[in-house]
Chain A
Amino acid sequence: MTRVIRLSVNGTAHEVDVPTYRTLLDCLRNDLGLTGSKEGCGVGVCGACTVLVDGKMISSCIALAVFADGHEVTTVEGLAEDERLHPVQQAFVDAGGFQCGICTPGQVVSAKALLDENPHPSDDEIREWMAGNLCRCTGYYKILESIRTAADRSRA
């Protein structure tokens, strides 16, 4: 019970023969070697597996790979352009928006999705949007600061 799916990941077209029960996260990590997205809770709560499908952020651990057939997926690997970090990534570096790093790909992808939709969010809007991305190092202030930094820089 496999199915051939055609999807675009970070702008590259892929054709993958996946078991129907494969999660999108496992497909990205194991079939396509994109290990940036992490599995944390495995039930859609922690945000470590956040990816964008057609620009909308979702939990890839509770999405089936077959759901992505015919769609465009963006992962953390797709944010930088060549050697240049995405402005959100650069802001996380500059403002110290991570500690151990395991939640960071999810945080960065979620923050990018927020700024794509709302380039200049208030602090409350940032908090509400990011509420589903857990950081067990509890570095939330720095994460907030990172996102604010990225938003401020885009205004300049």
Chain B
Amino acid sequence: MNAFDYRAPRTVDEALAILREYGEDARVIAGGTALVTMLRQRLVRPGCLVSLRDVAGLDRVDATNGALSFGALVTHRQSETSPLVRERIPVLAETFRRVATVRIRHMATLGGALAHADPNQDPPVTLLALGARVQIRGAGGSRELAIDEFFRDYYESALAPGEIVTGVTVPVPAAGSGAAFVKFLPRTADDYATVAVAAIVTSDGDRCRDARIALGSVGVTPLRGRAAEALLSGERMSAGLLEAAGEAVKGEVDPLSDHRGSAAYKRDMAAVMVRRALTQAWEAARRP
């Protein structure tokens, strides 16, 4: 690792001031699981690390108006074990439970996972399916972005230099909906997924009122399976429809070939995993 200044402000305002002072030479750090690894590999060489670890008030999960609001410093382990998250949005607690190992989940934070914008991570996939909103603060004030607008490219988010993710709001899925998160792990349980899928469907009798499908590890950002969603909307659920939805996803993903599989293989597996996620979500939606 290179030598750098380390600053540990107590408030977001102080953190923003330090970011202004150092400009593009500063990096924000929270849990450090991604950034310290990148520092050790000399992929980044910042002049200053601005730690959010001592900033108060960003480590809570609260229920607000049909949604849960997460501070940016909530760890993955907190989200996994929070009674509030497990009761209101169980698919999100389950997604966090499936990330890496307990050690990593004790360290990694929600805000860090978003700012890192690694398309192979799990939480962004489920947050995308749930329609989360991301709170951001910068020198110019606060703004909120739909998570669909947040991921821009490979390890690139909509965060401007000097901006910080401060929180995430996740709507509680409507009554009559069911959700599932599945991931394909051909190597080890703590590996990045070859394909990860989150699906949320709302039933109207035996019809699918609507569906939201999101995928990870099959493109430069986490992405929505919009063609598959459109196919399902308003239709009577059947094995054939689920099959067609899986096939539709193949045209929407753009995976990279790597040691977790060739692009062609990942595209095929995306269809399989979408079908499985939808099947589980539909069963959950129909459960009385």
A9 at the interface (CB under 8 A from B): no
Which residues of chain A come closer than 8 Å to B3, judged between CB atoms? Answer: 1, 19-21
Q: How large is the interface on A (under 10, 10 to 19, 20 to 34, 35 or more residues)?
A: 20 to 34
B106 at the interface (CB under 8 A from A): yes
Q: Which of B29-69 touch A at CB < 8 Å?
A: 32-33, 36-37, 39-41, 49, 51, 53
Q: Which of A47, A59, A69, A110 has the most CB of B within 10 A?
A: A59
Asked whether A132 and B33 contact (CB < 8 A) given A20-B4, A20-B6, A20-B49, the answer is: no
Among candidates B32, B40, B77, residue contacting A43 with C-beta atoms closer than 8 Å: B40
B5 and A62 within 8 A (CB): no
Question: How far is A3 from B5 in the complex, measured between Cα atoms in Å?
Answer: 9
Asked whether A21 and B32 contact (CB < 8 A) given A43-B40, A45-B190, the answer is: no
Which residues of chain B come closer than 8 Å to A20, judged between CB atoms? Answer: 3-6, 49
Number of residues of chain B lying within 8 A (CB) of chain A: 28
Question: How far is A20 from B47 in the complex, measured between Cα atoms in Å?
Answer: 11
A63 at the interface (CB under 8 A from B): yes
B263 at the interface (CB under 8 A from A): no
B36 and A62 within 8 A (CB): yes
Complex A-B: 22 CB contacts under 8 Å: A1-B4, A21-B2, A21-B4, A42-B40, A43-B40, A45-B190, A50-B103, A56-B77, A58-B107, A59-B33, A59-B103, A59-B104, A64-B32, A66-B8, A66-B51, A67-B51, A113-B102, A131-B101, A131-B189, A131-B190, A132-B101, A132-B190
* Chain A residues proximal to chain B, CB less than 8 Å: 1, 3, 19-21, 23, 42-45, 47, 50, 56-59, 62-64, 66-67, 69, 110, 113, 128-129, 131-132
